[in-house]
Copies of this chain bind each other. A is one copy, B any other.
């Protein structure tokens, strides 16, 4: 058995190395590659991805699994080896269900669709993107059919990003939070806007980068095993345990570089603190996008937008930006947490963010099911924006074209953002129950208790346990939307005097 396991580790280890090489190529493309080289880079990335896919679906791997799976009963279900065989088995089943012709065609389709989307976004013209998007949804339906029978056609797609999650569960969760978040927004809208003029200023981007660096370091991102670069669309990427890189962007009109960097640092702290024993195996990465997003959103919002954090950090912001020196921390805290329905998801405040996610979820499910024609997307988008946030985008660039996800074929991804929000509040609650002085520690710039707790309860496990099992281990429960709703209501009641 040990020999077979060793052989299995070698194959999946090499597949992982190749995926990480592809990640280097992608990082390089986004951080500094000359635009002129896009076509050649696409070819390189595609070649590496194909080689990874070959390894992931090799006959030898199948044979190894066939002889190893029966032996799992002799292993401790919490052991690394047990979890590895289980995960590799699950992935192998998924990868081999899809014919390689389909994989190649879909990769080609999305590569072209991305350019179409870019043109459509630049010209704010949905028609340019319509045919590509139509084909993407067709092919995603074909993909789902490889996994038939399923409870819902969306399930096989969702499972890629949030293993084990079902569409029916999602619908239930969203049906719970939707009316309550709409009601909260209605109440907030009826109140006067908080003092906000302090944010109507110009903030030099070099100072923002210094603050972002400071914040990331303070919360525990290890710059000795990573780096921070400037990009258009921020992301985090893992090349290995000793090289987890974050990216961010800074605009002179606002301070989002700081929160965006804390968000990405949250992702990276997760990846940097996976147990070393899991390195070079598929267990060495965050277990799902929902859990990942719970980490990034926790550091960005529950920590980064809290009064305690500002007690620590606002004086540094005031030193960097003297224009803030006339504004008290309490006024700044309210301004920094202003709720204002807007068109763009990534700029959304905590109270409106989930509304953007639910809108996308509902539309993509409808397009996948066929109940909404892709051609009718812009109209449907705008109708839901009106319904959920009371505003209608003046054009498609600010509407249904704003996100890159669909052009990349990522259907089933969006809901994990909302799951991340919900989970972050559950973790926050659990941690605060354990450490009564958490707020005080944060106000003093000490984040190690929180980070260690997350490390010991989530990070170290990598992908050993399924996401909901992991959540249950920590919080004793599955997803409990009411905890997030309570957090939101308490926070905004204080700010808006609801």
Q: How far is the CB of A42 from chain B (nearest CB, A)?
A: 11
Contact A21 B48 (CB under 8 A): yes
Contact A34 B241 (CB under 8 A): no
| Chain B residue with Cβ nearest A33 | B243
Q: Is A4 an interface residue (CB 8 A)?
A: no
Q: Is A392 an interface residue (CB 8 A)?
A: no
Q: How far is the CB of A49 from chain B (nearest CB, A)?
A: 12
The one of B24, B36, B243 in contact with A24, judged by C-beta atoms closer than 8 angstroms, is B24
Complex: A259 Cα to B224 Cα, angstroms: 32
Q: How far is the CB of A26 from chain B (nearest CB, A)?
A: 11
Q: Is A387 an interface residue (CB 8 A)?
A: no
Contact B44 A20 (CB under 8 A): yes
Contact A40 B227 (CB under 8 A): no
Instruction: Name the interface residues of A38-70: CB closer than 8 Å to any CB of B.
Output: 39-41, 43-44, 47-48, 51
Contact A243 B36 (CB under 8 A): yes
Complex: A21 Cα to B22 Cα, angstroms: 9
Complex: A14 Cα to B18 Cα, angstroms: 15
Q: Tell me which residues across on chain B come within 8 A of A24, comparing CB atoms.
A: 24-25, 28, 44
Q: How far is the CB of A416 from chain B (nearest CB, A)?
A: 28
Q: Is A37 an interface residue (CB 8 A)?
A: yes
Contact A225 B34 (CB under 8 A): yes
Q: Is A32 an interface residue (CB 8 A)?
A: yes
Contact A243 B47 (CB under 8 A): no
Q: How far is the CB of A402 from chain B (nearest CB, A)?
A: 28
Instruction: Name the interface residues of A201-231: CB closer than 8 Å to any CB of B.
Output: 223-227
Q: Tell me which residues across on chain B come within 8 A of A92, comparing CB atoms.
A: none
Q: How far is the CB of A44 from chain B (nearest CB, A)?
A: 5
Contact with B along A5-41 (1 / 0, CB 8 A): 0000000001001101100110010001111110111
Contact A32 B243 (CB under 8 A): no
The one of B37, B47, B51 in contact with A225, judged by C-beta atoms closer than 8 angstroms, is B37
Complex: A224 Cα to B37 Cα, angstroms: 9
Q: How far is the CB of A73 from chain B (nearest CB, A)?
A: 33
| Chain B residue with Cβ nearest A31 | B32
| Chain B residue with Cβ nearest A28 | B24
Q: Is A239 an interface residue (CB 8 A)?
A: yes
Question: Given A21-B44, A25-B21: A37 and B227 within 8 A (CB)?
Answer: no
The one of B18, B37, B47, B243 in contact with A17, judged by C-beta atoms closer than 8 angstroms, is B47
Complex: A37 Cα to B25 Cα, angstroms: 16
Q: Tell me which residues across on chain B come within 8 A of A44, comparing CB atoms.
A: 17, 20-21, 24, 239-240
Q: How far is the CB of A170 from chain B (nearest CB, A)?
A: 37
Q: Tell me which residues across on chain B come within 8 A of A243, comparing CB atoms.
A: 33-34, 36-37, 40-41
| Chain B residue with Cβ nearest A229 | B32
Complex: A18 Cα to B34 Cα, angstroms: 19
Complex: A225 Cα to B17 Cα, angstroms: 28
Q: Tell me which residues across on chain B come within 8 A of A14, comparing CB atoms.
A: 47
Contact with B along A432-474 (1 / 0, CB 8 A): 0000000000000000000000000000000000000000000
Q: How far is the CB of A209 from chain B (nearest CB, A)?
A: 16
Q: Is A236 an interface residue (CB 8 A)?
A: no
Q: Tell me which residues across on chain B come within 8 A of A40, comparing CB atoms.
A: 239-243
Complex: A14 Cα to B50 Cα, angstroms: 11
Q: Tell me which residues across on chain B come within 8 A of A33, comparing CB atoms.
A: 239, 243
* 11 A-B residue pairings within 8 Å (CB atoms): A17-B47, A24-B25, A28-B28, A37-B225, A37-B242, A40-B240, A40-B241, A40-B242, A41-B240, A41-B243, A44-B240
**With contacts A33-B239, A34-B226, A34-B243 known, what are 15 further pairs, Cβ within 8 A?**
A14-B47, A17-B47, A21-B21, A21-B25, A21-B47, A24-B28, A34-B223, A34-B224, A34-B225, A34-B242, A36-B224, A36-B242, A39-B242, A40-B240, A51-B51
Q: Which 8 A-B pairs have the closest CB atoms?
A: A37-B243, A40-B240, A37-B242, A36-B242, A36-B225, A17-B47, A34-B225, A17-B44
Q: Point out residues on A near B: beta carbons under 8 Å.
A: 14, 17-18, 20-21, 24-25, 28, 32-37, 39-41, 43-44, 47-48, 51, 223-227, 239-243
